[in-house]
Amino acid sequence: MKIFFPLLLYFCLCTLLFWGCSSPKTNAADSIKAIYDLYILGDASGISALGMTTEDIAAAQQAYDNSLKEMIRSNFAASGQVIAEDTLEELCAVRKEAFAKMSASVEVRDESDGKATVVIHTTYFNESALDADAFYQAKEETLQMFFDAPEEQQAYLMDVYTQNLITAYQNVSPSLDTCDVTVECVVHNKTWVPASMSSFGADLALALTGRNGIDES
């Protein structure tokens, strides 16, 4: 059964701008770990060491935030609702805090001729279950209420659902095990980067939200 408000499985990882030296300053594992730390943990120290400027880091993080917010607005609009900006800000913030609880180790599996295969071993949490529980709890509460119009019922449901999501994200704990993300890397501006940031983002989203290897059909 499809979840009512599928917030999840979303990363828009922006292309990173590096200004490297004559040869890569770090190996591919260090570069991928730096990107993971930036987008998942909110830690920019590794990416700064690779030569990415403070301005470009801020722009990449802002683009990520803007894309997530736009997706959430669209999901609410599809249900005929408008999410308040302060609620939207809080929802995005607690989701980022949940991801920041994760951790990862990274290793190079193969490297030759300017290409490398890197594997991320990351902890995760089951975001789909979190989302489903938040909705069904809201639905049960809404069914106990009386409303004069269907629109009022829908608005109440979405409000309770959103608050449940916020609380659920605040209570997230990382998995005890890890799942793997395989990343094909190339050298760009003398720095190792994913060959495809979009594929990397999609694979990382599936892994971190506990859906790595699950058939979505």
Domain positions in the chain are 28-125+172-208
Q: What percent of the chain has pLDDT over 90?
A: 48
Q: What percent of the chain has pLDDT over 70?
A: 85
Residue type, 104: A
Residue 213 is predicted with a pLDDT of 55
**Mean pLDDT to the nearest integer, 189-215:** 82
C-alpha dihedral sign at 85, 87, 93, 96:
negative
Rounded to whole angstroms, how far apart are CA atoms 74 and 81?
Answer: 9
Residue 215 is predicted with a pLDDT of 45
Residue 24 is predicted with a pLDDT of 52
Has residue 11 got a pLDDT over 70?
no
Pairing of strands 104-112, 115-122: antiparallel
Residue 62 is predicted with a pLDDT of 87
Residue 1 is predicted with a pLDDT of 27
Cα-based distances in Å from 64 to 38, 191, 195: 11, 21, 19
State whether residue 154 is helix, strand or coil: helix
Has residue 33 got a pLDDT over 90?
yes
Residue 71 is predicted with a pLDDT of 81
The answer to which of 6-15, 46-55, 69-78, 163-172 has the lowest mean pLDDT is 6-15
Residue 187's φ and ψ, nearest 5 degrees, are -95, 125
Rounded to whole angstroms, how far apart are CA atoms 144 and 152?
Answer: 14
What are the pLDDT digits (tens) for 104-133?
Answer: 999 999 988 889 999 999 999 998 899 889
Are 167 and 11 a contacting pair, CB within 8 Å?
A: no
Has residue 78 got a pLDDT over 80?
no
